[in-house]
């Protein structure tokens, strides 16, 4: 029985292996992006996964990829990646591993690790020039444990710990990485697969610290029907809330700037986490504030 299961798993296309473990939430935007990213990364890779939603993909003895998978604590993935990369380099330098069998070292985390708990370890890895690809699926909260607020939660959004709306502001992880002068940084979203594929291909062609930051619409945490995951993703781009851009060679380039931005209200209204902004006598003024911040960002870009 076990052999037949393993054989069926081996015969599946790579894209079907994602989700081979515990079922993920329907409409998961993080899994949507990860499917597309893995198509470019391929099997010659070792994924160092920090505790989070994607940890549910692995159920012993199976892992979600044809390559290797290492699970770490939430704050420790970059440190784990350092050990993996060093070990591979030692094996290659000593002749114990042929260079053509080298594996790409990939970190996979949610925003809780990327923006918060693991940021110190990430900063150290970038400063050391670690040759790794860091993938963050950003669902703007600690989604795996009940959608508590994280450093990636946007202003005004309800979470299980900010029932009146988050009073803080989303941390600029793209800017934090760029300030380290890494090799490459890019924002992506699964709803824009061509832009995503091009950026992952570029990242894989480079060496050094590289970040792929994917906005991950979360039906469970953001409170919308799973059938609208791609719509929410496209609206994040069309309203200008999620700029698609890349940092390379010391410069930031926007890869898909909306010619005519839609009002942010169209994006917010689809999500239950913003429902309080539309209630009579609620916090409607926050919609104007969110719009003003988006407009100010793009005014700076267009100048």
**pLDDT tens across 1-58, in order?**
334 333 433 444 444 445 444 568 999 999 999 999 999 999 999 999 999 999 888 8
Average pLDDT estimate for 243-262: 95
- How confident is the model at residue 99, as a pLDDT? 96
The two three-digit tokens of residue 46, written as one number: 């070792």
- How confident is the model at residue 52, as a pLDDT? 93
- How confident is the model at residue 17, as a pLDDT? 44
Average pLDDT, the chain: 91
Distance CA 33, CA 217 (A): 10
User: Any idea of the CA torsion for 222, 228, 229, 232, to the nearest 10 degrees?
Assistant: -70
- How confident is the model at residue 67, as a pLDDT? 86
Q: Which residues contact 57 (CB under 8 A, 6 or more apart)?
A: 18, 19, 20, 21, 22, 24, 63, 64
pLDDT grade for 66, boundaries at 50, 70 and 90: confident
Average pLDDT estimate for 171-180: 98
In DSSP terms, 213 is beta-bridged to: 136, 187
Is pLDDT of 281 > 90?
A: no
The domain spanning residue 38 has which CATH number? 3.40.50.970
CB neighbour burial string for 210-223, b if at least 16 within 10 angstroms, e if fewer: bbbbbbbbbbbbbb
Q: What is the model's pTM?
A: 0.91
> How many structural domains are present in the chain?
1
Domain assignment of residue 56, given as a range: 2-302
- How confident is the model at residue 23, as a pLDDT? 67
- How confident is the model at residue 50, as a pLDDT? 95
């Amino acid at each position: 029985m076990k052999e037949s299961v393993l054989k069926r798993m081996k015969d599946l296309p790579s894209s079907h292996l994602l989700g081979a473990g515990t079922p993920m939430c329907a409409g998961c935007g993080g899994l949507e992006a990860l499917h597309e990213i893995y198509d470019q990364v391929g099997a010659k890779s070792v994924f160092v996964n920090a505790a989070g939603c994607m940890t549910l993909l692995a159920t012993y003895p199976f892992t979600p990829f044809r390559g290797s998978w290492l699970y770490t604590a939430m704050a420790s993935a970059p440190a784990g990646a350092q050990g993996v990369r060093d070990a591979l380099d030692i094996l290659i330098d000593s002749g114990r591993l042929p260079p053509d069998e080298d594996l790409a070292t990939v970190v996979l985390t949610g925003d809780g690790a990327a923006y918060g708990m693991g940021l110190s370890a990430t900063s150290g890895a970038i400063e050391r020039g670690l040759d790794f690809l860091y993938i963050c699926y950003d669902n703007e909260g600690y989604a795996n444990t009940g959608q508590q607020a994280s450093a990636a939660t946007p202003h005004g959004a309800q979470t299980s710990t900010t029932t009146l709306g988050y009073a803080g502001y989303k941390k600029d992880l793209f800017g934090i990485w760029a300030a380290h002068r890494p090799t490459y940084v890019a924002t992506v979203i699964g709803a824009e697969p061509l832009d995503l594929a091009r950026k992952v291909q570029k990242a894989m062609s480079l060496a050094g610290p590289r970040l792929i930051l994917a906005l991950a619409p979360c039906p469970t945490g953001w409170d919308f029907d799973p059938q609208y995951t791609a719509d929410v993703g496209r609206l994040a781009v069309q309203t200008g809330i999620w700029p698609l851009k890349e940092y390379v060679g010391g410069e930031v380039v926007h890869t898909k700037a909306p010619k005519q931005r839609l009002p942010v209200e169209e994006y917010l209204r689809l999500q239950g986490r913003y429902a309080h902004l539309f209630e009579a006598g609620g916090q409607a003024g926050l919609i104007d504030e969110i719009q003003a911040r988006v407009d100010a960002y793009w005014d700076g870009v267009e100048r």
